[in-house]
Structure 1
Amino acid sequence: MESTDPVILLVDPADSRNGHAYRTAIHELGFGVVSLSTGPPSALTPPPDGPDGERSLHADGVDDAVRRIRAAGWDLRAVVPSHGATVHLADEIAARLGLPGNDPALGWARRNKGAMRARAVRTGVSVPEFQLVTSLDAVARAARDIGFPVVVKQTMGSGSYGVRVIGDPADLDEAARSLTVDRLDRPLTEWLVERYVRGREYAVNVFSAGGAHRLVDIWEYRQPDDRDYDFPLWDIVQIDGAHPDHVRVECFVKQVLDAFGVRQGPSHIEVKCEGDEVFLIELAPRFSGGPAVPMWTIHSGLRPFHDAVECYLGRRPRMIDGDHGFRAVLGSVVIRNDDGPGTLVAVHGLDALRALPGVADVLVEFRPGDHVPVTHHNMCIPVSASVHGPDRATVLRTMALARQTVRLEIAPGPADRAAVTPGAVAPGAVAPGAVAPGA
C-alpha cells in the first residue's frame, strides 16, 4: 500500500468478530486499511505494519489518535468502528478529521443507559419511568418509588449482563449480590432502575446514510410463557409488514435515530410495545451481535459490511433505496438453562439438531464437566442455532422441533469427574467461548 493510496481507518478490529469482514469489504471496495487499536497495549496489539502492507497504530484516546493520523499524512476517507464499545471514539475521531459520522456530542447518550434515558426525555422519545441511582440503598428506594415490578440495569452493561427484574421487595435482597460488579468484576457505582414494561419486545436493524434511515428487518423476542423476564432470548423470529406492530415500530425507531444524532452506518435498537405506546429499551449504533448479519449474507441480497462501509464513506448504498431480496424468513432458537445451576454431563441431540432442515450454525457454549449457571445473559447460553424457512410458520415449527431434539443433562452440585471425561466435548460441540445468537 502506497502512502498516497486512499485508506479507511478501522477501529479496534482485533477486538471484534466483525473485524475480518470489515477488512475484506474495505479492500474489495478499493481502499487500504489502517487498523487502530484503542485498548491497552498487549501481545494482541497489531504490529506496526500488518498483512499486505496494512498500517497499524495504537492510540491512547481520541486526541492521540487524531494527532498520529494527521502526522502520518494518509489520504483518509472514512472511520469505521468494528467494536461496539468504541463506536463513540470512532465518531469523535471522524468529526475531528472532518469525515462522515454520527453526532459526537451524543456519543455518550448512545452508550450509557442513564444518559440515553435523559436524552430520550429531552427529545420526546418514550421510555419507561426511571431513576438513575448510585447506591444499592437507592436502588431499593427507586424501586419502591416507581412501583414493582422494575428492571435494574448496569448503565454500561451489554448482553443482558447484570439485568434483573425485581418483582417485589424480597427480590431486592436476592438480586443485590449480582448487582455489585460488572462482567470484569469491577465495582459498580451507578444503576438504572426503570418500570418493567409488559408487552411484545422487538429488535430492529436499520442502516443510515446521510441521515436517511432504511429498515432492514424487525425480530420479535418470543418467550415460553407470560412470566416477567430479564433475559429476552428464547425464540427470535423476523416479522413482516403485515404484523400489527411493524409500522409503528419502524416509525418510532426512525424518530429515535434522529433524536440520537445517528446519520451513518448500521444500528440495532430494542423496543417494547405496551398498549398504544412504543418504548425505547436500548440503542446501539452498530450491527446486531446475534445471527442476523451472517444470515443476511446467505438469505438476502444485502452485503452488510460493504453497505456499512459505503455509509461511513458518506455514500448512499443501493440498499437504502432498493429491495433487500430476502429469500427466507429468519429466526434463532436459544436453548437456555432455566432450571438451576449445575454441572453439564452431556448435551443430547446435537447431531440430530444439525440435521434438521432449516437449522444452521449450531453453537455450544459449555463442555461436559463445566459449571452451567442459570441463563441470565448472552455469555451463558448453552446451545443456540440459526433457523430459516420459507415462511414464519415453518420457522416457528422448526424452532419447536429443535427444542424437542436437544436435551441438556445437568447434574446439581459440583462436577462429578467420574461421570464425564475431563475436557471432553459432546459430539458436534464447539469450544467454549462461541458467540451465541443475540449477543
Structure 2
Amino acid sequence: MKRVLLVNTSGDVAARRLQDRTDLQLSVITSPNYRGFYREDTDVTYVDNVEDLTQVRLAALEIRRRNAFEHVVSPSEYSLQAAGYVRSYFGIPGVGYETANAFSNKYVMKQRLHAAGLPVARFRLLGSFDDAAEAARELGWPVVVKPALGGGSEDIFAVHSAEHLAELATSERTLSLRTSPYPMIAEEFVDIATEYHCDGMVVDGEVRFASVAKYFTPLLQAVGDLVGSYTVPVDDPVAKEIRDLHDAAVAALGLTGGVTHLEVFQTSTGFLIGEVSCRPGGGGIADLVAHHHGIDPWHVLIETALGESPAVEARTMDGCSAVYFLPRPQGTIVELSTEAELRALPGVTHVEIRARIGELETGAMHSATQTGFVLLNAPTETEVAEHVAALTRAYRIRTV
C-alpha cells in the first residue's frame, strides 16, 4: 500500500480520485474552505493557509507520525510551492521546491525562461506598488502590475501613467494586491492579438504529449464575459511552434514528470510566453484535453506523483473541440439554465453546472469565475464559432 500526502486547495478531482483508491494510505493538508471535498473517514489536517510553508511543514511533521508518506500530490496552483517544499524537506522524489517555485513564482519563472533564450515580456521585480513608476521609466508606459504568485488572472492591473498609478495606489481595487504577502512584478504592456494555451504531459523526463488550443478572446479582455477555447489541429504550423515553446519551457524549468499548462500570447512581433504551471488547466480545460485527445491530465498528474509511469496515447477526435466557461455575474442567482437545456444545443457533448439558484457571489471577477462549463465539438473552426454563438444566446443567468 502506498503512503501518500495530498497538499491541496481547489483540486476537487484529485481529492475525489485519491479517496476512491483502496491501494493508498492517504493523508491530506488543506484549508477549512475545502472541508467539503473530504469524507469523514479521510485523514485531514487543516491549516489556515496552504501557502504558508511553515504551517504546512509542521502539519506534515505531525502527519508522518501516523503516515510516513512516500509520495506527495499537489493538484492546485496554490499548493504547488508547499508540496515542493515538503518533498525537498523530506527527500521525497518528485517535483522539489526549486522546480515548484519556478513553475509558480512568475518572477523566477521569467528569469529562467529569459536565461534560456525564450521570448517573454520584459519584467522587473517591485518592492512595492509605488515602485511601478520607476519600472515604467525603464519599460515604458503602460505597465502591467501583478503578484508574482497567484492564479485565475486575479489582482492584475494595467497602469497607464504616473497619474493613474497614484490613483490606484489608494484605491480599494488594488488593496488586495498592495497588501499581498507575495512579491510584485511589473511587465511591459503587450498588445495581445491572440492567446493560446498548451497542455502537456511529461513522463520520465520526456514530453510525451502536448495539445494547443486558442482562446475565444485573450483572457484579460474576457473576464466576466465570453471565456473559453478550442483546439488547434495538430498539423497547424502555429500549433507546432507553440509546442516547441512548450517543450523548451519544460526543459528550462526542470520538470521531469507531471502535467503542464502554458499560456502563449501572439503579438505583432511574434509569440511571447505568458506563464506556465505544472498542474492541469482550470475551468474545464483538463476536460477539454481528455474529451478531444482521450488522455486525462488528472490521471497523468496523480500517477506521475505516485511514481508510476502512465501510458500516454492520444486518440484525437476529428474536427475542433471547445470548452465554454459559463459566465457568472456577481450577486445572488435567481435564474439559471439547466444542464438539460444546454445539452440540447448544436454540437454540445457535455455540460457541467456547479452553481445553484440562491448562491451568492461577491468576490472579484477573474478568469475562473463561472457557473460551470460546456464542451462542444464541430467539424470546423467556423462551426465552433456558430455553436458558441448559439450557446451564448441560449444561456440564461440572472442575479440580484
State how far apart, in whole Å, the 1-side matches of 2:337 and 2:66 are.
Answer: 56
Match of 2:390 among 401, 413, 416: 401
Q: Give secondary structure in 2 for the equivalent of 1:100.
A: coil
Note if 1:292 corresponds to 2:266.
no
Q: 1:249 aligns with which of 236, 242, 254?
A: 242
Pick one of 5, 10, 14 that aligns with 1:19. 14
User: 1:23, CA displacement in angstroms?
Assistant: 1.0
Give the AA of the match of 1:392. E
Contact 1:25 1:305 in 2 (8 A): no
Q: Is the 8 A contact 2:29 2:56 kept in 1?
A: no
> Secondary structure of the equivalent of 1:115?
helix
Residues 287 and 296, structure 2, Cα contact 8 Å, conserved in 1: no
- Find out whether 1:156 has 2:179 as its counterpart: no
Distance 2:328 2:10 in 1: 28
Maintained 8 Å contact 1:206/1:266:
yes
Please give the per-residue CA displacement for 1:60-105, whole angstroms capped at 9, x wherever unaligned.
Answer: 646445644654464x553211332122222233344444312422
What corresponds to 1:430 in structure 2?
A: none
Assess, with a 3 A threshold, how the Cα gap between structure 1 residues 291 and 155 changes in structure 2: closer, same or farther.
Answer: same
Closer/same/farther in 2, CA of residues 125 and 103 from structure 1, 3 Å limit: farther
Equivalent-residue separation in structure 2 for 1:371 and 1:56 (angstroms)? 27
Counterpart position of 2:74: 81
Measured after TM superposition, the shift of residue 115 of structure 1 is: 2.4
Bigger Cα displacement from structure 2, 249-258 vs 133-142: 133-142
Distance in 2 (alpha carbons) for counterparts of 1:88 and 1:372: 28
What is the CA deviation profile of residues 369-426 of structure 1, one whole-angstrom value per residue up to 9, with x for unaligned ones? 96889x851354477533233443332210022223346667xxxx6xxxxxxxxxxx
* Pick aligned residue for 2:272 from 272, 279, 282: 279
Instruction: Identify the range of structure 1 (350-359 vs 148-157) with the bigger mean alpha-carbon deviation.
Output: 350-359
In the TM superposition, what is the alpha-carbon distance from 1:252 to its structure 2 partner? 0.9
- Secondary structure of the residue that 2:300 maps to in structure 1? helix
Query: 1:361 corresponds to which letter in structure 2?
Result: V
Contact 1:100–1:313 (8 Å) recurs in 2: no
Give 2:367's aligned amino acid.
Answer: N
CA distance in 2, matches of 1:42, 1:228: 27
Matched, 1:229 2:221: yes
- Matched ranges for 1:331-350 at <5 A: 331-334=322-325
CA distance in structure 2 between the partners assigned to 1:372 and 1:165 by the alignment = 23
Question: For residue 251 of structure 2, what is the aligned residue in structure 1?
Answer: 258
Contact in 1 for aligned 2:5/2:29 (Cα 8 Å)? no
Measure how far apart 1:251 and its partner are.
0.8
| Distance (whole Å) between structure 2 residues aligned to residue 336 and residue 84 of structure 1 | 22
Asked if 1:208 is matched to 2:197, the reply is: no
Do 1:365 and 1:380's aligned partners in 2 also have CA atoms closer than 8 Å? no
- Structure number having the greater helix percentage: 2
Which amino acid in structure 1 is aligned with residue 281 of structure 2?
S
Taking structure 1 as the reference length, the TM-score comes to 0.73
The correspondence for 2:100, drawn from 100, 107, 118, is 107
Question: Any idea what the Cα deviations from partners look like across 1:292-317, whole Å, max 9, x if unmatched?
Answer: 22344445432433322222233332
The letter of the residue matching 2:14 is G
Distance 1:332 1:264, change over 3 A: same
Structure 2: which 5+ residue stretches go unaligned? 48-53
Instruction: Give the letter for the 1:37 counterpart.
Output: I
**Distance across 1 between alignment mates of 2:190 and 2:148:** 18
Q: CA deviation at 1:291?
A: 0.8
SS at match of 1:253: helix
Residue 37 of structure 1 aligns with which residue? Answer: 29
Give the counterpart letter for 1:84 in structure 2.
Answer: E
After superposition, residues 384-399 of structure 1 pair within 5 angstroms as 385-399=374-388
Q: 1:10 aligns with which of 6, 18, 26?
A: 6
SS in 2 for 1:180: helix
1:358 aligns with 2:351: no
Hey, what's the Cα distance between the residues in 2 that align with 1:366 and 1:404? 20
SS of residue matched to 2:221: coil
Q: Which residue of 2 aligns with 1:433?
A: none
Contact 1:148 1:166 in 2 (8 A): yes
Structure 1 residue runs of 5 or longer lacking an equivalent are: 416-439
Q: Percent identity?
A: 22
Q: How many residues align?
A: 389
Q: Which has the larger radius of gyration?
A: 1
SS of 1:290's equivalent in the other structure is coil
CA drift at 1:343: 8.7
